[in-house]
Amino acid sequence: MATKLPAIASLSAADVLVATEPAWLQTWRQQSLAAFAAHEMPYWRRTDLTAFAFADMQLSADLGTFKIGADAPPGVIVMPLSQAVHDNAALVQAHLGSAVSAKVSKYAALNAATWRDGWFVYVPKNLESTLPLHLIQGFGAGNTLIARNLVILERGAHLTLVEQLHGDGGPYSNVVSELILGDGATLKYTAMQTWGAAVHHVGHVVANVGNNATIEWAAINTGALHQHIEAETNLVGNGSRVDWMAATVAKDGQRLLTAPWLRHVGRSTEAHMDFKTVVKGTGYATFDGMIKIEGGSTDTITRLEEHALHLSPQARSDSIPGLKIDTNNVQKAGHASTSGEVDDEHLFYMQARGISKDEAVHMIVMGFFEPVLDRIPLESLREQVTAAIAARI
Amino acid sequence: MSSELVIKDLHASIGDKEILKGVNLTVKPGTIHAIMGPNGSGKSTLSNTIMGHPSYTVTSGEVWYKGQNILELDVDQRAKLGLFLAFQYPVSIPGVTVANFLRAAVNGHRSVEGKDPRETQIPMAQFRKDIREKMAALGVDEAFARRYLNDGFSGGEKKRIEILQMSMLKPSMAIMDETDSGLDIDALKVVSQGVNTLVQANAEMGVLVITHYQRLLNYIKPDVVSVMMEGRIVREGGPELALTLEERGYDFIREEVFGNGN
């Protein structure tokens, strides 16, 4: 085994190509590597790019750990993506990069060129799976985790999926998830970032939603030192829908940013976004969101709410919501935003009932997150996350 | 250890504005004591100050209950001492269910400093039984237990939930702050009955009923009526005083106390 690992700043084709992979994938990796070299560094507002400097990264010998929390639901195909490129080559070739292309950013291109593993999930046509599928990705001892997930729901398929990034290590992680929803499909999706406290995490998560398909998306971000997640829902199909929630807790020293993009493309699309943030100590969280209603989108309904609770005076949260409308036929577009400390009147009321101040703050924060935590489909996981959040506030 | 509530020369302000200008009042255990007064006389400031609302600053005076000057205690400590404030405008707390809130309140009352909460908490089965009984008695649908506290509740529902909390916590001294405001007559009857039931069950319980109108006092019958004006208690009498005020309004007292043209 080579003792000197390839530095990401000076990657060559020899570093990224895997001899046993199919020719089309080798070509794809080479193109992605060229895109990586050609890209400028991205302009990411509020994200400190020195925390993600390529000079500090190298490809890891250890490819990370991939676990299934419970058995895969019957009929759902779940396997490592490295295996799926052989066993389900046609599906992977058709969809890989369709939601997150190497063109998106230098970091997405890096992922495309160098990923070694991840999950492949495939739900056949009209299979209505109800049992939750819990996929966990962790670090090995390596320097950089570069992982890629591909989730495909065929027409009329249903899936409940939890993707969790969990554990110490790294410090660098770069994870891409592509979610492809066929017509009439329903995906209940929980994305959990519960990395250890030293991790620098870049994520690209994109859902392409077909006609009359629905994604219920709950993102929970409590871990990592630095987080930059580019998340995107493309309501491409007519009558497609997203119900999108997020809960973020940033504590001492953490800088957690989520940049959600919502694109209304099809006719009669509907979106509800509810993003919640709690910051404490010197924690710093950013919501950098954009809703874009494209020209062809008519009868659109879109609603964005973002709320931030500050538990200490030094804590900081930034909210940069954007809305761009290129159509004259919006049915409803709304936005609400709040930011501030725990309401004194709430505290007084609860203390007047004999509840201590600490307990009252705890209940208010957990109540604030309740609608998001309620989405976690596995009770044991919900309790675990609830306890983890409670311990942090 | 006296369970009288004794207020001595209490002065309190919001910002620079003095609202309470020397309140003296004693509420005896086992009595229902009404405070009546016109709008702006300081009634709600008094109830909030007794309970310890952070917006009000006590500039001088004392409030004694069970051997302690409660102005030195945190709000939750006052509650644990047996004080209960039924709010005029109960707040809604999204994400916290009525049942969970009540359980936290009951456990807060049962908690003992230095003791593991697991030793003092109410057993779940007993809590469920209690809340079910109390909800039935107040005509509150059981579904409310799972709803977020006061979130989307009507005025009447909020007041019933206040009384539900009171009946779960069994205070020894309850302060009803304009409980009648925004209530129709049916809700008023239910709420009053809830208070009366508690009083009957505990002969030592004191109740301070703060109200602008005599109407509530038809249902919760006071033993003593005090009149508050311009931040002071200016008259004290029996139940007949409430009826006199109903007939003659507050002006005649204002003239007697402050003189004509003042």
Which ipTM score applies to this complex?
Answer: 0.96
Q: What is the 3-state secondary structure (H, E, C) of A202-238?
A: EEEEEEEECCCCEEEEEEEECCCCEEEEEEEEEECCC
Cα–Cα distance, A119 to A77 (Å, whole number): 10
Give the bridge partners for B23, in sequence order: B10
Task: Enter the pTM of the model.
Answer: 0.90
For residue A199, the model assigns a pLDDT of 95
Structure tokens at B147: 């709803």
For residue A60, the model assigns a pLDDT of 84
Asked whether the beta carbons of A198 and A226 are under 8 A apart, the reply is no
Give the bridge partners for A307, in sequence order: A276, A338
For residue B2, the model assigns a pLDDT of 60
Q: Find the helix packing angle between A357-373 and A344-351, rounded to 10°.
A: 110
For residue B260, the model assigns a pLDDT of 65
E strand segments, B28-76 = 32-36, 57-65, 68-69
* Type of residue numbered B211: T
Task: Judge if A139 and A240 occupy the same domain.
Answer: yes
Nearest CA to B108 out of B78, B81, B72, B80 is that of B80
Task: Judge if A347 and A327 occupy the same domain.
Answer: no
Q: Which residue of A has its CA nearest to B104?
A: A355
Task: Judge if A307 and A364 occupy the same domain.
Answer: no
Q: Find the helix packing angle between B185-201 and B155-169, rounded to 10°.
A: 0
When computed from its CA atoms, the radius of gyration of chain A, rounded to whole angstroms, is: 21
Mutate to test the interface with A, among B75, B146, B162 (most CBs of A within 10 A): B75
Q: Which residue of B has its CA nearest to A373?
A: B95
pLDDT tens-digit profile, chain B (262 residues): 568 999 999 999 999 999 999 999 999 999 999 999 998 999 999 999 999 999 999 999 999 999 999 999 999 999 999 999 999 999 999 999 999 999 999 999 999 989 998 899 999 999 999 999 999 999 899 999 999 999 999 988 999 999 999 999 999 999 999 988 878 888 889 889 999 999 999 999 999 999 988 889 999 999 999 999 999 999 999 999 999 998 999 999 999 898 865 4
Q: Report the run of H or E that residue A274 belongs to, with start and end.
A: strand A270-279
Peptide bond into A171 cis (omega under 30): yes
Cα–Cα distance, A227 to A283 (Å, whole number): 12
Task: Judge if A13 and A145 occupy the same domain.
Answer: yes
Half-sphere exposure of A364 (CA within 13 A, CB side): 26
CA dist A338 → A342, A362, B95 (Å): 11, 19, 16
Asked whether the beta carbons of A354 and B80 are under 8 A apart, the reply is yes
Minimum-distance CB partner of B53 among A346, A348, A363: A348
Task: Collapse the DSSP code of A283 into the 3-class scheme (helix H, G, I; strand E, B; otherwise coil) and give the result.
Answer: coil
What is the DSSP secondary structure assignment for residue B184, as one 8-state letter? -
Task: Judge if A42 and A181 occupy the same domain.
Answer: yes
Minimum-distance CB partner of B91 among A349, A357, A368: A349
Alpha helices in chain A (DSSP H): 13-16, 23-38, 81-87, 89-95, 106-114, 344-351, 357-373, 379-392
Alpha helices in A96-190 (DSSP H): 106-114
For residue A70, the model assigns a pLDDT of 77
Task: Judge if A86 and A137 occupy the same domain.
Answer: yes
Residue B67, by phi and psi: left (phi above 0), alpha (psi -120 to 50) or beta?
Answer: left
Shortest distance, CA A246 to any CA of chain B (angstroms):
15
Give me the phi and psi of A342, to 5 degrees please.
-60, 135
Give the domain-ending residue among A326, A341, A356: A341
The dihedral sign for the CA sequence A165, A170, A172, A178: negative
Inter-chain CB proximity B101 and A349 less than 8 Å: no
User: What is the extent of the structural domain holding A194?
Assistant: 4-341
Task: Judge if A393 and A257 occupy the same domain.
Answer: no
For residue B262, the model assigns a pLDDT of 47
How is the beta sheet containing A316-325 ordered, strand by strand? A77-80, A119-123, A144-153, A172-181, A200-209, A226-235, A255-264, A284-293, A316-325
Q: Within an 8 Å CB–CB cutoff, is residue B80 touching chain A?
A: yes
A347 CB neighbours in chain B (<8 A) are 54
Task: Judge if A313 and A351 occupy the same domain.
Answer: no
Minimum-distance CB partner of A353 among B54, B100, B165: B165
Structure tokens at A172: 């660098």
A353 CB neighbours in chain B (<8 A) are 76, 79, 101, 104-105, 108, 165, 169
Task: Judge if A186 and A147 occupy the same domain.
Answer: yes
A366 CB neighbours in chain B (<8 A) are 95-96
Give the domain-ending residue among A341, A358, A385: A341
Task: Judge if A252 and A330 occupy the same domain.
Answer: yes
Task: Collapse the DSSP code of B31 into the 3-class scheme (helix H, G, I; strand E, B; otherwise coil) and give the result.
Answer: coil
Give me the phi and psi of A280, to 5 degrees please.
-145, 155
Q: Within an 8 Å CB–CB cutoff, is residue B95 touching chain A?
A: yes
The dihedral sign for the CA sequence B32, B87, A354, B47: negative
Task: Judge if A132 and A216 occupy the same domain.
Answer: yes
Cα–Cα distance, A165 to A147 (Å, whole number): 10
Q: Supply angle C-alpha A314, A320, A326, rounded to 5.
A: 175
For residue A212, the model assigns a pLDDT of 98
Cα–Cα distance, B180 to B189 (Å, whole number): 10
B105 CB neighbours in chain A (<8 A) are 350, 353-355
Give the domain-ending residue among A307, A322, A341: A341
* Type of residue numbered A312: S
Asked whether the beta carbons of A302 and A331 are under 8 A apart, the reply is no
A358 CB neighbours in chain B (<8 A) are none
Give the number of domains in chain A: 2
B84 CB neighbours in chain A (<8 A) are 352
Q: Which parts of chain A register pLDDT below 70?
A: 1-4, 141
Inter-chain CB proximity A351 and B85 less than 8 Å: no
Mutate to test the interface with A, among B74, B85, B93, B163 (most CBs of A within 10 A): B93
Task: Judge if A132 and A182 occupy the same domain.
Answer: yes
**Bridge pairing between strands B93-97 and B148-149:** antiparallel
